[in-house]
Amino acid sequence: MENISEVSLLGKSVVALENFTPEEIRLVLDTAYGMKKIICRGGDKKLSNLRGKAIINLFYEPSTRTRTSFELAGKYLGADVVSINSGTSSIVKGESLRDTLRTIEAMGVDAIVMRHKAEGAADYATKVVSPVIINAGDGAHAHPSQALLDLFTIEQKKGRLAGLKVAIVGDILHSRVARSDVYAMTKMGIDVHIAGFKTLLPRFFEFEGVTVHENLEDAIKDADVINVLRIQLERQQAGLFPSTREYARVYGINEDRLKLAKDDVLILHPGPQNKGLEISSEVTYCKQSAIHDQVQNGVAIRMALLDLTLNGGTK
């Protein structure tokens, strides 16, 4: 195995985790432990690691957690951060993605954190401008920082990654979180099981080391972790499942279903939740739920990503 101290992410864009080695993922997780201490220590959180660096958040799709946590992460590290909202920028006047990216580049920014509805948008950005690009979600393709914070949350709660059984359940077909999770988790030795309505499973499942189930019970049996995905109502053509009531009955994660998993099963959900559809209120607030921890860990992971790509890590 490569020596972790020789691994560097300096200058690397974060488009998808298929382009990351296990050692690079390890470096991000290890860096995030230090960042989490800073967030939790109380008092002054401001560091100077990224002093003099400028970061733009460019979001073409709605976001609460991801955008706010990238903004706070940059600010905690001392960078100047500006968030552009597609609804109040020249994007509404029809400016192309390329022109918007080049305009931002001309202002001297060091990183662009972007979310776009088109798969491949972040990769395209790396080809037309020079700042570091961090993909905060491109259509149904990838959401690398979410998968990293999922790994971080699992490791914090379970003390390890390799050998755990993780069930990812729900709308796999439209989920960039599922796709990034599968790459990240299999690279770190996790036994991944996915389950969903047949119409919500990718037809040709492309991942090695992943077991696909149509039956939810088989996926969650003896699971250490259940990651419940939001039904992406905005990315669905009508008719992929009979009704929301039927979905909740067959695939909703409720207290009865939790009994099939291990007693100490950890519950994750990337948010926002459709309560009563893919997850019940009781499960969201049960003692094994780490949904709230995921949000705090998201800030730590995003601090780690920004520090490593723009500064090479704490020296």
Residues recognised as catalytic:
65-66, 93, 115, 143
3-state DSSP call for residue 75? helix
Residue number, 219 or 228, with CB nearest to ligand NCD: 228
Residue number, 122 or 177, with CB nearest to ligand NCD: 177
Residue number, 66 or 289, with CB nearest to ligand NCD: 66
Binding residue for ligand NCD (CB under 6 A) from 74, 131, 137, 196? 137
Residue number, 54 or 178, with CB nearest to ligand NCD: 178
Confirm or reject binding of residue 174 to ligand NCD (CB under 6 A). Answer: no
Rounded Cα gap, residues 79 and 73, in angstroms = 9
Rounded Cα gap, residues 260 and 223, in angstroms = 8
Residue of 226, 217, 225, 283 whose CA lies nearest to 251: 217
Confirm or reject binding of residue 66 to ligand NCD (CB under 6 A). Answer: yes
Residue of 147, 136, 96, 85 whose CA lies nearest to 112: 136
Residue of 47, 15, 99 whose CA lies nearest to 300: 47
Confirm or reject binding of residue 176 to ligand NCD (CB under 6 A). Answer: yes
Confirm or reject binding of residue 170 to ligand NCD (CB under 6 A). Answer: no
State the nearest-atom distance from the C-beta of 294 to ligand NCD, in Å: 8
Confirm or reject binding of residue 196 to ligand NCD (CB under 6 A). Answer: no
Residues 6+ apart with CB under 8 A from 251: 169, 170, 195, 196, 197, 216, 278
In the structure encoding, which two tokens stand for residue 48, read together?
């100077």
The residues that touch ligand NCD, with contacts defined as CB under 6 A, are 65-66, 137, 143, 146, 176-177, 230, 270-271
